[in-house]
Amino acid sequence: MPQEQTHIPFFRPSFSEDEERAVVEVLRSGWLTTGKVTLAFEEEFARLTGARRALAVNSATSGLMLAMEALGVRSGKKILTTPYTFASTAMSARHLGAEVAYADVERDSYSIDPQRVEDALKKDRDIAAIVPVHIAGNLCDMDAITGLARRYGAAVIEDAAHAFPSKTEAGYAGTLADAGVFSFYATKTITTGEGGMVCARDPKVADRIALMRSHGINRTVWDRYTSASASWKYDVVEEGWKCNLPDVLSAIGRVQLAKAWDFYRSRSAVAQAYTEAFSRAEGLIVPPDGPGNAWHLYLLRLDLDALDCDRDTFAAELQGAGLGISMHFIPHFELTYFRERYGLRAGDFPNADAKYRSTVTLPFWPGMSGEQVERVIAITLETAKRHTGRR
């Protein structure tokens, strides 16, 4: 069979005519930018998650920057996160002139290690906010982290880019701290192509985010043109940015939001099939799966002591057999900008380094067919067997 027919992509967005209809409706309405559809999206998101306020933004990167700014991260201050995350977790702080401190992840998960958080808070009084990242949708220990934050006087901003919908007895991830930020980037659990949502607890923080996402203007454009007291007048009261989410994208978001739990159930079933197959195989380590896991990604680890090859060889062979694979994440000590700015060395983050060397992200999305799931399993098991048999 030709490669195109057999190739299984790493991810495919799940859309139907519902999203198409919602977009066409907005296109025909005469109002494309942030307006009543975005307001409805924010209200529906807040209602579902129990967030006090939800504010739609054009990306999680913007959302992180806005939440950090509203919670006092600025020049002379630092955020604390892990090197095992996407660039934007740290870059959002740099946009504010703030610096980044790093703590290693736990030995058996991709989550920031609360013990390392405490070590950092003890010695560094400039840390204004801790930014735990719920990698792949598996939750960090939020009780421990918020407890430490209270003790040392830091804010907590959840990077929940991967964690929708993640729900435990404590509530939805992204609503468990001072602020939480979700991503609707093209490969996320619900998507608008680009986009994000910031949830904030304190109404003053939410108001500040709303102001700063829109040029520091004191009235929204929707309000200026459509409210009963419509008036062209406005004032610029702060040095803000432009980070709003337009109605065209919010229309897609509302439809995706309504399907979020169906998508979750479908991804969970795929994850269960993978985990069942891989947990019995020599050379493979299944991902951590704590309460409330959103199953955004399936991060398979290789037991490098049991295999006669490294991760790159293993990944290349999966790719050669027609699987679209990825790697989450290249840690910041491997990225020139962060390594050089902060003098990061892999040896200072042994847990993140070990995970980076042994992880591969498998094809994973809610609409995968049974045949595709079986092929991913078969190819992965065959590859592992080829590399354990010779020992």
Ligand X SMILES: Cc1ncc(COP(=O)(O)O)c(C=O)c1O
The residues of the shown chain that bind ligand X, judged by CB under 6 A, are 59-61, 85-86, 88-89, 133, 159, 161-162, 183, 185, 196
Is the CB of 197 or the CB of 373 nearer to ligand X? 197
In b/e form, how buried is each residue of 323-352, taking b as 16+ CB within 10 angstroms?
A: bbbbebbebbbebeebbeebebebeebebb
Q: How far is the CB of 307 from ligand X (least distance, A)?
A: 27
Which DSSP category does 287 fall into? Answer: P
Q: Please report how many Cα atoms fall inside a 13 Å half-sphere around the Cα of residue 348, on the Cβ side.
A: 16
Contacts of 213 (CB under 8 A, 6+ apart): 55, 57, 62, 66, 240, 241, 242, 243, 244
List Cα–Cα distances, 38 to 21, 90, 318, in angstroms. Answer: 16, 27, 41
Is the CB of 89 or the CB of 220 nearer to ligand X? 89
Q: How far apart are the first and last CA of the chain?
A: 33
Q: Give strand pairing partners of 148.
A: none
Q: How far is the CB of 57 from ligand X (least distance, A)?
A: 9
Q: How far is the CB of 273 from ligand X (least distance, A)?
A: 24
Q: How far is the CB of 105 from ligand X (least distance, A)?
A: 13
Is the CB of 49 or the CB of 81 nearer to ligand X? 81
Catalytic status, residue 242 = no
Contact status, residue 343 vs residue 332, Cβ threshold 8 Å: no
Dist CA 385 CA 207 (whole Å): 56
Q: How far is the CB of 245 from ligand X (least distance, A)?
A: 11
Contact status, residue 267 vs residue 365, Cβ threshold 8 Å: yes
* Given 78, 188, 204, 385, the catalytic residue: 188
Positions marked catalytic: 188
